[in-house]
Amino acid sequence: MIRPILTFPDPVLKQKAAPVTVITDEVRQLAQDMAETMYDAPGVGLAAPQVGVLQRLIVIDVAAKDEAPQLITVINPVIVQCEGEVYEEEGCLSVPDFSANVRRYETVVVKGLSLDGQERVWQADGLLAIAFQHEIDHLEGTLFVDRLSPLKRELFIKKARKRSNP
């Protein structure tokens, strides 16, 4: 089921998500709905708070459009190691019509649970590393615009206000 994606300035997007304590059928259904929603949008990642659920669950697929899907679903993801630095353009399904360069780690190691409850570790670089960091930020109530300089953030807020009050 495709779920509505919350957009800035919805206050849910600024709240911290709670850990998933038990992997239930509802959690598995949420993950499936999130994947369908992400692919439909289309995007490369989605965090549960973006669909109004304050749980620590993310889905990511950075495969090129002409490649087979490579869906990654992570429950309670945590970055356990990071190095390097990149400065790349990012956008967000919850921040439509706006993108900006954001400073991120170049490589990350992420630990979390799969849908069957097994602990997994992902080593990521490039777009996958950026997507992990971006989606984990959502679980902390952080949007990519929060990582911009005060001037760029203010420009974004002015643009967002104009869009919502034409």
Q: Say if residues 8 and 143 touch (Cβ distance below 8 Å).
A: yes
Predicted pLDDT of residue 15: 98
The mean predicted confidence, pLDDT, of the chain is: 95
Whole-number Å distance between alpha carbons of 92 and 46: 9
Kindly give the parts of the chain with pLDDT less than 50. none
The catalytic residue among 83, 85, 90, 135 is 135
**101: Cα separation from own chain's centroid:** 16
Predicted pLDDT of residue 166: 63
Predicted pLDDT of residue 90: 96
Q: Say if residues 48 and 33 touch (Cβ distance below 8 Å).
A: no
Predicted pLDDT of residue 157: 82
Structure tokens at 128: 């996958």
Please give the full DSSP string across 51-88, using - where no structure is assigned. GT--BSEEEE----TTSPP--EEEEEEEEEEEE--EEE
Active site annotation includes 135? yes
Predicted pLDDT of residue 42: 94
Q: Which CATH architecture has domain 11-164?
A: Alpha-Beta Complex (3.90)
Predicted pLDDT of residue 83: 97
User: Per-residue pLDDT tens for 122-146?
Assistant: 999 999 999 999 999 999 999 999 9
Enumerate the domain spans of the chain.
11-164
**112: Cα separation from own chain's centroid:** 15
Whole-number Å distance between alpha carbons of 15 and 82: 24
